[in-house]
Amino acid sequence: MAEQLALQPIDYAHEIVEAASEMQASDIVLLDVHEACDFTDYFVIMTAESSRQIRALQDDIQQAMKLNGLPPHHVEGTRDSGWILLDFGDVIAHLMGPDEREFYDLEGVWPAAVELLRLQ
């Protein structure tokens, strides 16, 4: 029987980026925040154009992570609020509408974060 290798937090973050990209999220950013905060290592921030797309992104990301053995520890927000936070422990995904993304400016809130990837 083949031994399954455990994924590292960066691998999980890339899985989220891939799922978001496949669902046509825009402005996907992967930030390394481990030096800036003590509660997680990576943020994946993305923009969805509608509450319907936010819900589809949530479903697909949760399914992808579940297949990799990592269900969310915590989920906050609703698709109608314009912001859903999926907490996977070492990786937190932020699914945001355009207005919420601009207003909360998470990249600006975490200036010590290192941008590892950006997909327009």
Q: Which domain holds residue 96?
A: 9-119
Q: Mean pLDDT in each 10-residue stretch from start to end of the chain (120 residues)?
A: 69 97 96 94 97 96 94 92 96 98 94 94
The reply to whether 4 falls in a domain is no
**pLDDT for position 5:** 61
Is 85 within the bounds of a domain? yes
Q: Is residue 86 part of a domain?
A: yes
Q: What percent of the chain is modeled with pLDDT above 90?
A: 88
Query: pLDDT tens across 82-107, in order?
Result: 999 999 999 999 999 999 999 999 99
Contact 19, 7 (CB under 8 A): no
Residue 105 lies in a domain: yes
Residues in the chain, total: 120
| pLDDT on residue 79 | 83
pLDDT at 7: 81
Residues 6 or more apart whose Cβ sits within 8 Å of residue 94: 43, 44, 45, 46, 83, 84, 85, 106
115 falls within a domain: yes
Residue 3 belongs to some domain of the structure: no
Residue 2 within any structural domain of the chain:
no
Is residue 84 included in any domain, yes or no?
yes
User: What total of structural domains would you count in the chain?
Assistant: 1
pTM score, whole prediction? 0.92
CATH assignment at residue 93: 3.30.460.10
